[in-house]
Amino acid sequence: MNNMKTKTLFITALTVFTFNSSFAIENKHEHSVLSNKVHQSERDDRQYEVIELNNKMRVLLVSDPKATKSLGSIALPVGSLYDPVLQQGLAHYTEHMVLMGSKKYPQPSSFTEFLSRHAGNYNATTSGNRTAFFFEVENGVINTALDYLADAIAEPIFDPKFADKERNAVSSEMTMYRSSDGFRIQQVDSETINPNHPAAQFSGGNLETLSDKDNSKLQDELVNFHDKYYSANIMVGVIYSNQSIEKLETLAESTYGQIPNKNIVVPPITKPAITQEFTGKEITMIPAQPRKMLSLKFPIENDIDKFADKTNEYLIYLISNNSKNTLADQLQKQGLIEAIQTTCDSKYYGNSGTFNINVILTDEGLAQKDKVIAAIFNYLQLIEKQGVSEAYYDEIKKVFALSFKYKDVNRDMSYVEWLSDQMLLYPVKNVLDADYVAEHLNKEAIITRIKSFTPDNARVWLIAPNQTTDKTAYFLNAPYKVDNITDELKATWTNLAKDFSFSLPELNPYIPDNFSIIAQNEDQIQPATFSKRGNHIHFVSRHFSNDPKAVIAVSLRNNQAFKDAKTSIAFELLDYIVSRDLTQLQFQAGNAGMSLSTGTDNGLMITAAGFNQHLPEMVLAILNSYRQVTIDEQSLALAKSWYLQRLDGADHFESIRLASEPVLALSKLPHYFERDERRQITNTITISDVEAYRDNLMSQSIPYMISLGNISNEDSLDLYHAVQKTLKRNVEFTPLDDIAIKTSFTARITQQAKSTDSALLMTYFPTNYDPTKSQVVGYTLANIMSPWFFDQLRSNEQLGYLVGIFPFFIGESVGLGFAVQTNQWDPAYLLQRYQAFYPAMLNKLDALTDEDIEEYKRSIIDEQTMPPQSLDEEFERLISDYRLSRFQFDSRDKKIELLKKITKQDLIDFYKNTVIEQKGLVIASQVIGKTEKEEKQPEAITDYTEFKNASSLQNELLK
């Protein structure tokens, strides 16, 4: 499946600012309320206030009566750029250790277990410029959760017995990133910039960098780093809850207010990251994944203080635009590229940043990379000469304004992480709107910026397999090479650039201007029965009826669409060819507040979401492209290359994902086909094969459609009829029977990883068990037991970085999956440790009281009954039943009612029968990590019945 994901360049956008009316009320505050009010959208009815506590910590309070969970975060403007040279990775290590027990809450797992009982979760992240901690939890226990976090920040115990274990965890995490090209690129970059800049250090840390040295003891450095930088006066915090601002103020002082103020000043980074010595370079790197990418990176100054100009966003918009005859359009039509994705981070190095033009290459584009580079420089010159226009800026400004005004209300912990980051970067008044405000076109800044985009100032990256290299990046093991951009090469680019003549982008015709709300019948009755001839379903939004947005999904279901491997591949190739044909429409729709995607639903599924004004025509445009797009030798060759690369990419998944793939594949019906088989068939498919497949799909399918939101039932039905008219009426669709687990047996599947990590996933499924009940019980058990498993095998035994218990599906039945990814231990040893701890978890489960179980159940019920945060999320709650042709749309309600009746004994019986006594289906999916010649091969599991692959196991289940 090829998702036509919109290249939305403006993740955030701005509108007219209004102030919440509650700000007009003057209250007597015990703490300093910062005078600058937070700019918020006129549609945002939450109350915001920034206060300064007595310890000089700035805290953003958000009072939201509609909040179904409470959120908290703390961030400080110190990250890996402040690591001492002798303890590289210390900021990351400190972030880990802070959460390993505090003076008031000494047990490392206490916060995790508390949150799991109260529909909660937490995380922490470290970047070069900051460290952040954030959580979400039930409203009623926000005070306790804040106390946990505040005490961890203020008084971590840094117990040495956990310190060395967590040091191993940090090293395991970085080992895992050997298969991540993002981290590999970051490490190569650090080795090719000014070595005196702190970004040149190894930011993540490992067992070598985080260790005792003659002049540096790790435990001492850990304590000193915390003492030096973890001070309230440089921190920011966020508290988001359904309580009043006054109550949140009191809560902030009693928790965050206890963090000591050490009156520190964060020292500025003064050394330049990239000087002329490090520009004018070609950097070649071999990726971990089979990707082909060209990236032109240009150093820029840190211009965060000029955020309201949107200089970088202006250039991103023009460079990435897919209008007719633009850079992206021409290179794509010539078969040289898949896409251009332009990004910018002006604080990447702390005191400076980088502007990046990233190009995903085709095979031909890789062979002609110099032609692609020449085209980019040609287009940049056109922008410099003719591209600075009030018309483009006004369009960008309008898009930002609409995006800010109609921004989805986010109420999960990622929101407070984002708010913390915003507080560290921008003035109080712009915490919400900094990414959206566009005040004036700074022509001089744009011209100055683009004039710096020259070969002499560039770092041109080529990331592709089978390149010549002469270096290997430290620890991440990425092969690379650095060459100078020679005068001869620059002359070549100049000559090749003469072959191109580009046009600047056309203005976007799809930016909405009609935001009227359609009157709808709230008591509309939906069809409860499935029809083999098709169904039309329309819902009025229960939560976003005042938003001028809608979601539409149209499915062309066809029992022949995926009958064998050849038809499955033909769909993928056709879908890819159509996605290239629709590139301009995707880009324009994305920047006008709409998203378009295609996928599978027993055939083709088209989804369009966002501002409703143009959605029906978008759906019809996609369908027309499927019918009319030209399938020629070039487009088919590109599609095959893309598909084969995607198959190769699956071979390079990180080990834990590789282990999961065989289990997930069992649910792919009517049959799962192995990658090797698909590779062979792909090479034999012809133009006529794809055309014949298209003819069948676009004429012999049955239309099903669901819509939600600000579109009338009549208009929705008109769209359905327009689709229906293009299809033959004498065909029917019959849903496939679901796969069922009827007999007990064991299975073992073994794969070899491309990375050094091994992994073991043990999954246990009950037989002849009610599928809905298995979902409820399995999810509840995973929620209860995952912290225990993590605490024992990750925190105490340090078996790996990725450790957890997850509910796994086969069809509609759910079992429990126990997973670890490790760079130190064999799958055989992992299984021993799993089996040793299984009885202990049964004892812990048995020791829970009925009140404990009810608390866990209530936590899950509260989570499942929370209102959706967006129209898209409301739609997602309908789509699973839609795909299963269950048009009563009551599966969620049934699960909640069933959960209310689940008892402690139900949980014990399920766990005991499936995991302890193994009376159901047991699947051991193991991945053996790659080793050097002199290293010992990891010991694999030999228990259980061996199956060659997922398709052979699926055949057994389908008998």
Q: How far apart are CA 674 and CA 676, in angstroms?
A: 6
Side chain identity at residue 83, one-letter code = D
Q: In this structure, what token pair is assigned to residue 861?
A: 């019920």
Judge whether 63 and 20 are in contact, CB under 8 Å. no
Q: How far apart are CA 62 and CA 59, in angstroms?
A: 10
> Cα–Cα distances in Å, from 152 out to 46, 94, 449, 830?
29, 11, 44, 31
Bridge partners for 746 per DSSP = 922
- Residue indicated by tokens 């064998």: 564
Among candidate residues 340, 343, 391, the one with its CA nearest the CA of residue 362: 340
What DSSP string describes 897-949? HHHHH--HHHHHHHHIIIIIS--SEEEEEEEEPP--TTSPPPPPP--S-B-SS
Among candidate residues 512, 56, 31, 488, the one with its CA nearest the CA of residue 246: 31
Examine the residue annotation and report whether 851 is marked as an active-site residue of this protein.
no
Burial class (CB in 10 A: 0-12, 13-18, 19+), 581: middle
Q: How far apart are CA 574 and CA 568, in angstroms?
A: 10
Among candidate residues 112, 124, 117, the one with its CA nearest the CA of residue 76: 124
* 3-state secondary structure string across 783-845: HHHHHHHHHHHHHHCCCCCEEEEEEEEECCEEEEEEEEEECCCCHHHHHHHHHHHHHHHHHHH
Tell me whether strands 758-765 and 921-928 are parallel, antiparallel or unpaired.
Answer: antiparallel
Judge whether 541 and 520 are in contact, CB under 8 Å. no
What DSSP string describes 641-686? HHHHHHHHHHHTS-HHHHHHHHHHHTT-SS----HHHHHHHHTT--
Judge whether 454 and 373 are in contact, CB under 8 Å. no
| Number of other CB atoms surrounding residue 641 within 10 Å | 18
Q: Please give the span between the terminal C-alpha atoms of the chain, in angstroms, as a whole number.
A: 27
Judge whether 68 and 862 are in contact, CB under 8 Å. yes
> Cα–Cα distances in Å, from 451 out to 283, 316, 381, 446, 501?
22, 15, 8, 9, 19
Q: How far apart are CA 264 and CA 262, in angstroms?
A: 5
In sequence order, what E strands does 251-330 have? 281-285, 293-301
Judge whether 461 and 338 are in contact, CB under 8 Å. no
| Number of other CB atoms surrounding residue 488 within 10 Å | 7
Torsion of CA 208, 211, 213, 216, to 10 degrees: 130
Active-site entry in 42, 52, 95, 854:
95
Q: How far apart are CA 204 and CA 183, in angstroms?
A: 9
Q: In this structure, what token pair is assigned to residue 434?
A: 């900094």
Rg (CA), the chain: 28
Bridge partners for 479 per DSSP = 472
Residues 6 or more apart in contact with residue 502 via CB below 8 angstroms: 325, 326, 327, 330, 375, 378, 379, 382
Judge whether 661 and 650 are in contact, CB under 8 Å. yes
| Number of other CB atoms surrounding residue 676 within 10 Å | 11
Among candidate residues 110, 322, 11, the one with its CA nearest the CA of residue 787: 110
Judge whether 61 and 454 are in contact, CB under 8 Å. no
User: Which residues are catalytically annotated?
Assistant: 95
